[in-house]
Amino acid sequence: MNTTEAVVTTVAMENQWIPFTPNRDFKRDPRLFEGAKGNYFFGPEGVQILDGSSGLFTTPAGHARQEIATAVYEQVLELDYTSSFLRSHPKSFALCEKLTELLPEGLNKIFLVNSGSEAVDTAIKIALHYHRVRKEASRTIFVSRERAYHGANMTGVALSGLVNNRRAFGLPILPVVHMRHTWLEENRFVPGQGQHGAELAEDLLRLIQLHGAENIAACIVEPIAGSTGTLVAPVGYLERLREICTAHGILLIFDEVITGFGRTGMPFAAQSFGVTPDIITMAKAITNGIIPMGAVAVNEAIHDTIVGSGAEGSVEFFHGYTGSAHPVSCAASLATLGIYEREDLFARGRKLSGRFLEGLFGLRDAPGILDVRGYGMLGGIDIDPAVLGMDGYGFQKLLYDMGLHIKSTGNSLVYAPPFTLSEEEIDQVIGITREALGVAKAKE
């Protein structure tokens, strides 16, 4: 088992303000990555650290893939940049065609952006504009969910159901109402979709009765709420949301920034759960994390309504980014999708899921474990700081020191292993976690 004490670095740290990080604590006691290859990061002095969360849900094909590096290098020399405003390039169209092949039927119009936050912001604008051109401009309210994470821009803050993402920024700029989250005591330690909680979808109906369907633009949910600790939608929940949205003319948006590209065993969670939304947002694994990129997949009828509304020669949708459809990002994404296909990585993830979830749920009797959840290659553990003597932030630092990288949110630990892990490495992820639980308890 690799172990390392946090190493004092000689790199000057005073100038960077690190995101979503206790900066003072980090700079007193830093944990750095100096390299990555395959399924491992490398810390100071080359210490191996097994990647238990695919970077940040970004890198299911493993690190330092030569095919992607070569595609990026060649693209920089071929066409390093062009704006997509009034111009474009062949690889952007090729990429959108490849994405459409993976998506649920009907979601065949793709808007390219640079991140998950931008994808969500774009989806919200599409929903607003769609209703406006249909002469239903009163539809301006969005329905989100407690414990939701939909990005870090101001649209994401408005939609967020995480209090720390909201409390510092005042009133939201977008009218948003929230449904309850789907965590229930009855579903504790239940792998996959819990049998209890489908009735929580009726929250949407209650909000319709309160605000009027004619004032609600869209309902946005993560099929599995990943950042908050892997809250899996219970059986029947997403189906009921789809029914209610369809009956009341409300768009259903799935935020699949985390669950997209095989994380649930299928290309998208929409297919795993058998529910097709009107819009899907995606990012992260679209380039295997190599270069920031995101996309929004839109139902053809929504696209055609918006594009058909403008006068000939006019801009139908006043939205976009300097880096939209960036040539290098498109090249990286095409190379990434090629790896997923050639190596059949989504099927490999499905095969590994059984061993991963069996191991994760095998921790249920370890000290300080309050709940375990999981679906596909995505899992979450809630820990009890009172038992372990440290919170989630402290525990993820301990895991780093013991040779494992994961994400923590509050006292939830989030696991999202690369699909390239061996069964032995899956066992290592679980084994290091179990050992760390024992170490934490001993330190109490």
2 lies in some domain: no
Query: Do 363 and 337 share a structural domain?
Result: no
Q: What is the pLDDT of residue 337?
A: 98
Q: What's the pLDDT at 61?
A: 98
Same domain, 156 and 269: yes
- Residue of 61, 94, 57 lying closest to 75 (CA atoms): 94
Angle subtended by helix axes 423-443 and 392-401, to nearest 10: 120
Block residue for tokens 């936050």: 117
Of 342, 359, 375, the residue at which a domain comes to its end is: 342
Task: Label residue 4 by pLDDT band (50, 70, 90).
Answer: very low
Do 173 and 154 meet the contact criterion of CB atoms below 8 Å apart? yes
**What pLDDT is recorded for position 270?**
98
Tell me if 11 is assigned to some domain.
no
On whether both 71 and 47 belong to a single domain, the answer is no
Same domain (yes/no): 110, 221: yes
**Residue pair 151/283 in contact by the 8 Å Cβ criterion:** no
Domain finish residue from 312, 342, 372? 342
Q: Does 415 share its domain with 288?
A: no
What b-and-e string marks burial along 278-311, b requiring 16 or more CB atoms within 10 Å of the CB?
Answer: bbbbbbbbbbbbbbbbbbbbbbeebbebbeeeee
Which residue do the tokens 């111009």 mark? 87
Amino acid 172: pLDDT? 73
CATH number, position 271:
3.40.640.10
What digits encode the pLDDT tens for the residues 244-272?
999 999 999 999 999 999 999 999 999 99
For tokens 């069964």, the residue is 423
Query: Is 211 a residue whose pLDDT tops 80?
Result: yes
> Model's pTM, two decimal places?
0.95
pLDDT at 154: 86
Least confident of 159-168, 250-259, 360-369: 159-168
**Does residue 260 fall inside a structural domain?**
yes
Residues 433 and 322 in one domain: no
Q: Which residue has the tokens 């191996």?
A: 48
- Residue 289: pLDDT band (50, 70, 90) is very high
Query: Of 327, 342, 357, which residue constitutes the final position of a domain?
Result: 342
Q: For 380-409, what is each residue's pLDDT tens digit?
A: 999 999 999 999 999 999 999 999 999 999
In the predicted model, is pLDDT for residue 7 greater than 50? no
Q: For 184-208, what is each residue's pLDDT tens digit?
A: 999 999 999 999 999 999 999 999 9
User: What's the total number of domains in the chain?
Assistant: 2
What's the number of CA atoms in the CB half-sphere (13 Å) around residue 390? 19
The alpha carbons of the chain give a radius of gyration, in whole angstroms, of 22
10 pLDDT higher than 90: no
Domain of residue 93: give its range.
67-342
Task: Judge if 423 and 438 occupy the same domain.
Answer: yes
Identify whether residues 294 and 352 lie together within a single domain: no
Answer whether 387's CB lies under 8 Å from 204's CB. no
1 assigned to some structural domain:
no
What percentage of the chain exceeds 90 in pLDDT? Answer: 90
Residue 105 neighbours by CB under 8 Å, 6+ apart? 276
Mean pLDDT over all residues of the chain? Answer: 95
Give yes or no for residue 173 having a pLDDT over 90. no
Q: Is the pLDDT of residue 315 over 50?
A: yes
Q: Which of 81, 411, 379, 100 is nearest to 259 (CA)?
A: 379
Nearest residue to 219 via CA among 196, 238, 193? 238
Q: What is the pLDDT of residues 70-125, one digit of tens each?
A: 999 999 999 999 999 999 999 999 999 999 999 999 999 999 999 999 999 999 99
**Which structure tokens are listed for 290?**
């190599």
- Tell me, yes or no, whether 315 lies in a domain: yes
Residues 6+ apart with CB under 8 A from 307: 316, 317
> Looking at the structure, do residues 98 and 114 belong to the same domain, yes or no?
yes
CB–CB of 32/24 below 8 Å? no
Look at residue 50 and tell me whether its pLDDT is greater than 50.
Answer: yes
Is 52 in the same domain as 81? Answer: no
Based on the domain organization, do 284 and 320 belong to the same domain?
Answer: yes
- Say if residue 166's pLDDT is above 80: no
Question: 122 and 213: one domain?
Answer: yes
